Every structure is written in C-alpha cells, then in structure tokens.
Amino acid sequence: MGVDALAALLVGKTYDRVGLISLLAVPLLTLPIPFLAFSCSYSLVLIGIVLWGVVMGIQETIMRAAIADLTPIERRGFAYGIFNTAYGASWFLGAALMGLLYELSINYLILFVVVMELISIPLFLLVRKTA
C-alpha cells in the first residue's frame, strides 16, 4: 500500500503531462511480476511486490482519471459504474482462472499472465486511437 501511494503521486503527475499513453507502463511493469513472485529468491520476491504496488498505483490513479477525461460530466457516474463493474468482473474471472492454473502448474500461470499482458498492448493502442 505504501508503494501504491507513492507511485500514485508520481503517476498522477505523469498522466497530467503525457495522458493515456502512461497506461502502457502497466503491462510492461506487470510482465516480470510472475517470474519474480514465484522465484526462490527473497530479494526477487520483494522486487515483485514493489512492482505490484507500482502497477496498482498506476491503475488506481490513471484509469479513474481517464474516465473523467473521456466522459462528459452528465454521463460520468454511469461511466464509473460501467468501469467498476467491468474491472471487478474481469479481476474476479482472471483471479479464478489464475487460481486454477496455479493448481495445475505455476508455469501455466506464468504463461497465461505473459500472454494476457502481451495481448493488452496492441489492444490498448487500438483503443487509444479510437478515443
């Protein structure tokens, strides 16, 4: 939570300067997390935890700010409702699938995370062009 809070301060300033492109940091910073988190090294696991905090700070700061920037004020409440519903449902489904993969094989879990992160980059760029 401490890392999340510090990252949010820095990321907020970055978002104000460069806009939505700052969200590209999420998949780039998330990619190494499963490798670090499931390593046998205490130091690497700690680095993974710090990266997770940074990613959460980015998501919690930029995604909500972006909704405000992209949505007219009269539809903002509905937009936040849609966003939080989709975010929560996606988090739940992804976590459930990752739990199943974890029981099968940590390698499957890591592969899933890496593939999802790599898929997210071109999707983000596609959505960014239409926004």
What is the per-residue pLDDT for 131? 59
What are the DSSP calls for 68-97, one per residue? HHHS-GGGHHHHHHHHHHHHHHHHHHHHHH
Q: Is the pLDDT of residue 77 over 80?
A: yes
Contact 30, 51 (CB under 8 A): yes
Please report, rounded to a whole number, the percentage of residues in the chain having pLDDT higher than 90: 68
Q: Is the pLDDT of residue 51 over 90?
A: yes
Residue 93 or 64, more confident: 93
pTM over 0.85, yes/no:
no
The dihedral through the CA atoms of 23, 27, 64, 77 has a sign that is positive
Domains of the chain, by residue range, sit at 2-130
What is the per-residue pLDDT for 24? 85
Confidence of residue 124 (pLDDT cuts 50, 70, 90): confident
Contact 33, 113 (CB under 8 A): yes
What is the per-residue pLDDT for 123? 85
What is the per-residue pLDDT for 57? 92
Q: What angle do CA 117, 90, 111 make, to 5 degrees?
A: 35
